[in-house]
Amino acid sequence: MQISVPILAFAKSKSSVTLHGGTDASFAPPIDYMVEFLNGIVFPEIRTFSGYYPQGGGTVVVDVDPICGKLSPVCLTEMGSIVKVTGSTFVAGKVPIKVADEMRSVGLETLRSHFPDVPIEVESFRAPDNSRHGSVSSFLYVVEETSTGCRLAVSGLGQPRGPPVRQLVKEAIEQELIPCIKSGVCCDTHMQDQLILPMALAQGKSVIRTTTPLTLHTQSAIYVAEKILPSVRLAYSIRLNGHLHLTHTDIFFR
């Protein structure tokens, strides 16, 4: 999806891509993350039928309208101050709702300890049977807004033989989300690689401040961008503060 959709944006007419498989799995952002962050921005419209680990069986339909003119560059260099934090926890299938409620409680407690003066809203719910396949417990916490318009997130998936959900939520917030915020980056590690191809296709220089070192997914995205855009030379170097600059000739950290 990340490769095909930006390219289809340059097609002469509307396109639709239907993908099948798992939508919520370990070591990857859940489909809700993609919808929350990219729907209407990189992807004009995303419709989902969730398929959870380990069963899979999900369906994602992405409709892509051709762009008018050229893609505008992205400039995200100042994180600003946090204005609002939102989140959701849910269960599906055979997992009891009390698991989602516990994830919500732990998430609120942990977030409030770090952001006592910031509005925080977290909901817990059971996913309807007609919108999913499989059993799962999951959470997604989003720094919904900063004073400069940046957004960061952390997510996780409960495992039958994994750590307790209380530990899972607390560690995700304190070991992933909080370090991102303290470092002043403008996009999290999941979003980092999602932006490479759209940035490479944009007219002009795009600038994002992100984490260092580059994730392996981001390095792969750079490799793919070089292959499908032979006129674009991508190179990067890592310097202080973790700024990622992308132009049609260079990627480098400042």
What was the pLDDT predicted at 247? 45
Q: Distance of CA 4 to CAs 63, 83, 214, Å?
A: 11, 34, 22
The CATH number linked to 165 is: 3.30.360.20
212 contacts: CB under 8 Å, gap ≥ 6: 238, 242, 253
What was the pLDDT predicted at 224? 81
What was the pLDDT predicted at 53? 65
Question: Is position 17 within any domain?
Answer: no
Query: What is the average per-residue pLDDT within 119-126?
Result: 92
CA distance 212 to 203: 25
What was the pLDDT predicted at 121? 93
Question: Is position 109 within any domain?
Answer: yes
**Phi-psi sector, 228: left (phi>0), alpha (psi -120 to 50), beta:** alpha
Residue 218, both tokens: 């981001």
Question: Is position 189 within any domain?
Answer: no
Does residue 140 have a pLDDT over 80?
no
Q: CB–CB of 134/57 below 8 Å? A: yes
Question: Is position 89 within any domain?
Answer: yes
27 contacts: CB under 8 Å, gap ≥ 6: none
Question: Which has the minimum average pLDDT: 7-21, 48-62, 210-224?
Answer: 48-62
What was the pLDDT predicted at 252? 37
Q: Domain of residue 167: give its range.
A: 76-183
Q: pLDDT band for position 254 (50/70/90)?
A: very low
What was the pLDDT predicted at 151? 87
Instruction: State yes or no: is 248 an active-site residue.
Output: no
What was the pLDDT predicted at 101? 95
Specify the higher pLDDT residue, 237 or 148.
Answer: 148
Question: Is position 68 within any domain?
Answer: no
CA angle (226, 204, 9) in 5-degree steps: 65
What was the pLDDT predicted at 249? 43
pTM exceeding 0.85 = no
Catalytic residue, chosen from 190, 217, 243, 248, is 217
Q: pLDDT band for position 124 (50/70/90)?
A: very high
Give me the number of domains the chain comprises.
1
Question: Is position 90 within any domain?
Answer: yes
Q: Residue 37: phi, psi to the nearest 5?
A: -95, -30
Pairing between strand 58-64 and 82-92?
Answer: unpaired
pLDDT digits (tens, 9 = 90+) for 147-200: 998 888 888 888 777 788 899 999 999 998 998 888 888 888 888 888 888 888
* Preceding peptide of 128 cis, ω within 30°: no
Query: What is the average per-residue pLDDT within 203-219?
Result: 80
Average pLDDT along the chain:
79
Q: How many CA atoms lie within 13 A of 83 on its CB side?
A: 10
Does residue 232 have a pLDDT over 80?
no
Element of type H or E holding 156: strand 152-157
Q: pLDDT band for position 235 (50/70/90)?
A: low
Question: Is position 168 within any domain?
Answer: yes
pLDDT digits (tens, 9 = 90+) for 34-83: 777 665 555 556 777 777 766 777 888 888 888 887 878 878 888 899 99
What was the pLDDT predicted at 108? 95
CA distance 100 to 85: 18
Question: Is position 234 within any domain?
Answer: no
Q: Distance of CA 32 to CAs 10, 86, 107, 198, 232, Å?
A: 25, 13, 17, 20, 32
